[in-house]
Amino acid sequence: MALDKQNEGKILPMDENKENTTEDGIGLEILQIIKDSQQQHGLRHGDYQRYRGYCSRRLRRLRKTLGFKCGNRHKFTGKKVTVEMLSDNRYSDNRYLLLVLMEAERAWSYSMQLKQEANTEPRKRFHLLSRLRKAAKHGERLEKLCESPRVDAKTKLEAQAYTSYLSGMVRFELQEWKDAMEAFNKCKTIYEKLASAFTEELAVLYHQRVEEISPNIRYCAYNIGDQNAMNELMQMRLSAGGGGGMMAEKLEALITQTRAKQAATMSEVEWRGRTVPVKIDKARIFLLGLGDNEAAIAQHTNETLWNLKRRPRTSAGYICLGT
């Protein structure tokens, strides 16, 4: 905890560069700020509780600096940032937008912490959904604030993408696959457009975000009825290399959940010309996983061979690999 507070002091100057008001209006690099904060305060190791604590401390510092406190130690008085405030020169500070962003991040990180705990305590799922809805509500507030004419176009688009992502997460947890897929696709489209419009450094960040939400889109498509989506999930897991990390863990969780659903309807398997009944659930899941892995490896091998055939050859017939 003490190390976290030291690190916060070190990164404040860096964050100020991302939050300065530009000539085009109030600007806030939303994705860059949340990614840096997440990586430096716990999410590199999946520690959502640590990141939530960081968001709470940063909110307290922002309110104190801006003189935007919600009452005192004896009484709470709710105060909200409004579009009218941003139109006033006295409040033309993008830290007011940052305030709402940190509120959304705090609620989101708490919901992800509860999701980890819900694996052993199922009742926490209700609290999880409540926090996730609250994060989405804060995201909607941020998007509405960014509709102010004083906010630049890039910030408006990033706010829309961020809100779509949080909305998609809520629908995903509620298993409303069609609505979740629409929200994730909107988020993906915005980030792809931003990636094509800005520098290569920012484009890498936007493409990483697109890769993060792609498994969710595939899983929604699978649940809607697209059978090819499962094969795409398997290919994405192979591309991840099985070396760990949040992306690999997410893919593994989605695939495991899909196999569990398929296993519920699997009653028999054909082996050496004979039909054998399968009554044990773990055996069903294992057989489904074995078949999926064989199909994915075969497809990957075929694609590799096809790519090798496309390479130019020398006159002696050897593949030209270059110098």
3-state secondary structure of 146: coil
Q: What is the pLDDT along the chain (323 residues), one digit of tens a residue?
A: 555 555 554 444 434 444 455 555 788 999 999 999 999 999 988 899 999 999 999 999 998 888 877 666 666 666 788 877 777 777 677 888 999 999 999 999 999 999 989 888 888 999 999 999 999 999 999 999 999 888 999 999 999 999 999 999 999 999 999 999 999 999 999 999 999 988 887 889 999 999 999 888 988 888 887 767 666 666 665 555 444 444 455 566 666 666 565 555 555 556 566 666 665 666 655 656 665 555 556 655 665 666 566 555 544 444 444 44
pLDDT at 91: 65
- Name the E strands within 138-279: 268-271, 274-277
Q: Residue 271 pairs with which residues in a beta bridge?
A: 274
- The residue assigned the tokens 């990483």 is 208
Q: Is 10 buried (19+), middle (13-18) or exposed (0-12) by CB count in 10 A?
A: exposed
CA–CA gap between residue 244 and residue 240 (Å, rounded): 8
pLDDT at 321: 47
Q: Which residues contact 91 (CB under 8 A, 6 or more apart)?
A: 81, 85
Closest CA to 139 of 62, 35, 42, 30: 30
pTM across the whole model: 0.72
| Residue 106 structure tokens | 């705090």
CA–CA gap between residue 128 and residue 304 (Å, rounded): 43
CA–CA gap between residue 245 and residue 110 (Å, rounded): 20
pLDDT at 127: 94
Contacts by 107-112, CB closer than 8 A, 24 or more apart: 107/131, 107/132, 107/134, 107/135, 107/138, 108/132, 108/135, 108/166, 108/169, 109/48, 109/49, 109/51, 109/52, 109/55, 110/48, 110/52, 111/135, 112/48
| Residue 149 structure tokens | 């004419």
- The residue assigned the tokens 């020398």 is 314
Q: Supply the DSSP symbol for 279.
A: -
